Structure 1
């Protein structure tokens, strides 16, 4: 059974997991996402981030429902060590006895000492062959923590930037489980500005133009065709949607551009 439109296969073999946070504001119920993803190949699968702790039972049920359709889940990779991205490591490692935690695993031995023997440090450029597609660690252009990493599913061109592609938003229940391009009237630039200022405050202290230029080059060099970040709806048309996110970043930084 789906909750809030999830799980959803956003690209062939790439599943969007989790559910919405809901809070009341101004007499309305507003939703937001702290998403996780599942990337499958022909032989193996990898979980991207663990989602918010409160949603782990839902995420586990989603993985159980997909179990007969996907190859074995062998890998768990997290974008960084922050609790909304890595807090569920212990529970998922317990659920899947063959699962290995990979990426920048600094500090994880302190939080999850029972699973140290199943942790493996991955550097930028490391990759695994899932069968028919490669899951590759790539340089993060925008960092949340020192241990932040991004990843790319090479065959489908899906980028997993965690918090780095800083677009987050609130929506009502008619937008749950939708891609950005499926929702009309979404104030993407404004949402990106707010997310930058409150979640990645360092962005307000620097000129963001060099970072935006680097992001543009990176998306082109990696042939990114979809962006699945932790917060906000997945972007299926980066060419037309990403400029609004860039504009929000520039509005949050010392560039102080004016939002349209």
Structure 2
């Protein structure tokens, strides 16, 4: 894969309020393949209540200036209350030290195993949470959820109850091919800030397989995708999920149409 001259960019359409009090901040990194260019999202999400706020994942370090600016737009003069990194991998935690520097009293929540080793300078901000724990934001609640698709043992998901948004980290992830003017560096009027029901074309199975086989390496050796995704659909029904917010991929608003594509991509990623 040739990533020469790849530059992470954020659309001027971000942040986008995808549900009341739930904001999507996304950046895309182009990957130059032999026959095409495809993009990989690296999104973060903010859930804001009347009393507190939380950012889900932190964005890649390269997008920090824009992440910081967009947080100011969303929160104004209010400090960020919580950071929920889904798991300790760079695209999900890379801006943790900067967030603590910007908001010294912020609480970093989730499964905190080994975070003290990765980020010893923020140990005082770490607060462990387990599936089933609820974070009251004031008119908004964030529920910590078991991650049913994970690439690290301490991956967790979260559910914004009032907005009906399930944040799935590397689950439900895929690349996408933007339909863009080559001279438009801000992804407008392209696909990067659109939800899946706004895309001109459905997600390509091969783009789901590309990301699944890369981010979820175990998928190459596990061909039991039906069991995995049947469990996920059960959780979606149980919680009443209205949309899925993956870290890597457009926000999924037509879940029942997209899930079979992600499932097929998982099966295609199986190699052994």
TM-score, normalised to structure 2, is: 0.86
Q: Distance in 2 between matches of 1:220 and 1:190?
A: 27
Q: Report the CA distance between 1:247 and its aligned residue.
A: 2.3
Q: Find the partner of 1:216 among 233, 237, 240.
A: 233
* Contact 1:133 1:154 (8 Å CA) reproduced: yes
Q: Distance in 1 between matches of 2:108 and 2:167?
A: 16
Q: Distance in 2 between matches of 1:227 and 1:214?
A: 15
Runs of 4+ in 1 over 6 A off after TM superposition: none
Unaligned runs of 5+ in 2: 1-9, 180-186
Q: Which residue number in structure 2 is paired with residue 125 of structure 1?
A: 132
Q: Which residue number in structure 2 is paired with residue 80 of structure 1?
A: 87
Q: Give me the CA root mean square deviation.
A: 2.1
Q: Distance in 2 between matches of 1:71 and 1:220?
A: 35
Aligned partner of residue 85 in structure 1, secondary structure: helix
Q: Find the partner of 1:187 among 203, 206, 221.
A: 203
Aligned partner of residue 175 in structure 1, secondary structure: coil
Q: Which residue number in structure 1 is paired with residue 53 of structure 2?
A: 45
Aligned partner of residue 73 in structure 1, secondary structure: coil
Alignment of 1:147-186 (within 5 A): 147-172=154-179, 173=187, 174-186=190-202
Distance 1:49 1:236, change over 3 A: same
Distance 1:209 1:28, change over 3 A: closer
Q: Which residue number in structure 2 is paired with residue 95 of structure 1?
A: 102
* Contact 2:17 2:23 (8 Å CA) reproduced: yes
Further displaced range: 18-27 or 190-199: 18-27
Q: Distance in 1 between matches of 2:157 and 2:165?
A: 11
Residue 17 in 1 paired to residue 17 in 2? no
Q: Which residue number in structure 1 is paired with residue 242 of structure 2?
A: 225
Q: Report the CA distance between 1:166 and its aligned residue.
A: 3.1
Q: Find the partner of 1:140 among 135, 144, 147.
A: 147
Q: Report the CA distance between 1:30 and its aligned residue.
A: 4.4
Aligned partner of residue 123 in structure 2, secondary structure: helix
Q: Which residue number in structure 2 is paired with residue 252 of structure 1?
A: 269
Q: Report the CA distance between 1:217 and its aligned residue.
A: 0.8
Q: Find the partner of 2:13 among 5, 18, 26.
A: 5
Q: Distance in 2 between matches of 1:74 and 1:199?
A: 29
Q: Distance in 2 between matches of 1:10 and 1:234?
A: 8
Residue 65 in 1 paired to residue 73 in 2? yes
Q: Distance in 2 between matches of 1:238 and 1:154?
A: 17
* Contact 1:208 1:253 (8 Å CA) reproduced: no
* Contact 2:173 2:211 (8 Å CA) reproduced: yes
Q: Distance in 1 between matches of 2:79 and 2:197?
A: 32
* Contact 1:43 1:71 (8 Å CA) reproduced: no
Q: Which residue number in structure 2 is paired with residue 112 of structure 1?
A: 119
TM-score, normalised to structure 1, is: 0.90
